[in-house]
Structure 1
Amino acid sequence: MMSFTVVVPRDQTVAHVGSTDTLPCWISPPENAEALEIRWYRHEFSKPVLFYQHGKIQDVQEESYRNRSSLTLWSDQSGGLKDGDVSLRLEKLRIQDEGSFHCYVSGESEYDSREVVLKVTALGSAPVLFPQPLDDGRMNISCKSSGWYPEPNVTWMSDERTVLRPGGVSRSRGADEMFSVHSWTAVSQSDAQLVSCSMSLMTGEFREGRLNIQAIISSDPWKALFFTLLICALLGLTGLILYIYRHKLTGKKTVKEVCDDETMECLTKEDVGDKITEELKKDTVCDDESTEKLPKEVVEDNIEELRKHAVQITIDPERSHPDLKVSKDRKIVRDAPGYKHTGEGFPFELRAFGAQRFTSGRHYWEVDLARENTPPKIFWLIGVAKHGNCRLKNRSALTPSNGYWFLCSDGPNGIYINSDPPVTLSLTPRPEQLGVLLDYDHGQLSFYNVKERKHLLTMSSRFTGSVAPLFNPGVGDLSSLTVLDCPKPVESPVKSSEPLLSNSSEA
């Protein structure tokens, strides 16, 4: 039997609590692994997460992974064990699953092993803001949220998109190892009319809540006090709902059972619930699945809604790398014939920029990554960049702080965002048509799998100056990267029956 090497992605994999994730691992050169010994383990070799031998999975396993682990395909193009794919599938992820997993493969006379790092995250509840009048006429605003992992970053903003300094931040950790966060700041009517509190993870995912300060300060004290009590009640209800949802994800008591036992009495108090809803609609908007999302329409109802913001994008040949070939209509780009990438990893230097620049508003475009009768691209980079940042070459410099925001598909090394450090995402299947929504005013860049009608992820930032679309076709693919002209959305008085874009919980 020929010698082999175990190969894994170079970056960590990120997945949500309660989701299913794949830890990629394969042998190179590809060969049939059905007769090999495959062992996935964490801390002790003798306590495997999964143990495959003699053509089947053995009943020798760390108890916490029983009925949660299996061998799977790391991509749609994988041939499975026959092609040397020994990737691990984990279901119902827990915070305790975070850390290193060893992929060990052994033959008759040789073996090799590599380490895969799994980062587990939990997106908490929408922040709830509630005010308390101070003696000096200002308003102390508290912001609370729970169910986060790891600890989120907290950012306060005014309606002018100016960062406010928090008065303080406290964090606590519950028995479920999730974090609850409480932050506060003091503002006056002259500081802002609207104040927002957002909590974010390193993946760019975030929750945001807003409060109309002017409306509260100008109201009478009894109304302000009543409003405060209402939001406190909502905070408790939100925490209970989140707790129930977490238990559902981990296979414990169902939502219906918990509601029947504990919450139906609260939910039937319509007089209190109606008042809470009425007041919140006036002054507070939360980014949550059960409430109006902020910024409004960031997660659109469907593709037709996204395309209402469509703009025609063309590639600027003057600002494209000389080793790129751009079509005459400035819509198609690929690596030039004869170009040989001599460096290691993804060819970040092969950048092309859109001719259009944006300084405000919401703009949407689509990119085709799979041509007919040709295998889909597995090497590409798509996003936006601050105008004038076309000379940076070092990958470590291509970060949001330097004016670059993008999603990169690096073949077998996976798909990742350019956070610092980069974070690998579990996106299955690979997008064949990618939608990009730039919301400049709200500081968001969102990506969508158009064919699957899925929202993949949203990066949160603060844009300054003009930004332009960014493209990189990579090298080694038969397909080109094509910027599409979005069809005009179909206007209809009847509500669309098409499936809504759903947030990908495994990203």
Structure 2
Amino acid sequence: MSIITILLLMNLFIETSVSLTVLVPGDPVVGHVGSAVILPCWISPPENAEALEIRWYRHDQFNNTVLLYNHGKIQDVQEESYRNRSSLTLRSDQSGGLNEGDVSLRLEKLTLQDEGSFHCYVSGESAYGKEEVLLKIKGFGSTPVLVPKLLDDGRVNISCKSSGWYPEPNIKWTSVDGRVLRPGGSSHSRGTDKMFSVHSWMAISHSDAHLVSCSISLRTGELQESRIDVQAIISSGPWKALFLTFLICALLGLVGLFLYKYRDRLTGKNPADPNLRFVFILVVEDMTIEELRQHAVEITIDRERLHPDLKVSQDCKTVRDSADYNHTGQGFPYQLCAFGAQRFSSGRHYWEVDLAQENTPPKNYWLIGVMKDGNLTARDRSGLTPSNGSCFLCSDGPNGFHTNTDQSVKLSLTPRPERLGVLLNYDDGQLSFYNVKERKHLLTISSRFSGSIVPLFNPGAGDLSPLKIMDGPNPVEQAESSQPLLSNNSADT
């Protein structure tokens, strides 16, 4: 047999053994931190893939799989960081699934570490094929919060802050007529989650601009913007400027800091009893952990007013969903409420809630806040409204964080809190939330309290970690106590 014949036979063997054609998109797939993404991959021409091996893996780690489908089912062998986050899915509504060769991968709860290449490998008895999908990760941060401060020379120093960005964003100041303004300074910082926080500031007079805008954007075009009326602050004087700070955070800052949308509004009804009617969400001045813990109180769960599908520890500090609780998965289980045994009708009161156990990820589902004593039943979200006396921050897994204000506010909180601090300021009508581990103030909800208020807890359903109320916090070390929770950037100028 001639050498040419041998080469032709070898080439024919190689072609028949690699004849299975796998296709993926030509452009990178873009996903956002905390959300889900689909990495499309399919066989062409279409053929039934139910009897084939489907292997998704990263880089050159063929045996360390993101997902492995074989012998007609997904195998329980995968890289630990992708456990409970990966699945086979349809690349489009028109897809025929595995029957027609769609082997696309769905990834949930995206992190920055997911950025990079993913290999789609499909093999049968005599053929195989593989292609590479490139995943790009973005973090679309919170809309900027603008905080003005009236200076002695009549100018206004405006601070602009935002967090949760990736990659590093750009900052731009403009006037109402489109002129680009030069800031006094800007800084970027990265947290433990590798996301970027930005802070910029500038001192401006009425002659410089009437209306000032601070916009933060990615190079790909995503943009968040907030505006502030300089003339109103300068003409109002120091005391009114303080009031306008809060008002601007309400009317303009709500356009910033949070993305919100209307939902679950009671139509055609005015609340008969405005026990806890929300006014606005604002940013408060810095407080240290030590200052917060000066108001620490001991909180326990009231066993007598506990939902039957909840399980509470003997010390009444830990609560979770019962093992036999059958959650349909249709939305957050608002009915799984537990209430504090303590009642408050004046003063400041602070407590902390642990949302993660050692070697387990932070809880995805929880609801923490306060409730008017006596209004302690909820079958769904409609029973936890401001008019019914509730005020809370909720984490609804991949659906993100939200409050129950009259206009529901959706938040971008990164990193996900592992321990949440709650400060109830009854007399001033404020409920504040803090990420204790990251030493960050998350938000403050301004309300109008009346009667007795009790702590409100809901551990959600399906998480590995329970919800645990911490014992009365001990003061932090002196080295930490001097660091304000909000100052993770350069100091205000």
TM-score normalised by L of structure 2: 0.49
Give the structure with higher Rg (CA): 2
TM-score normalised by L of structure 1: 0.48
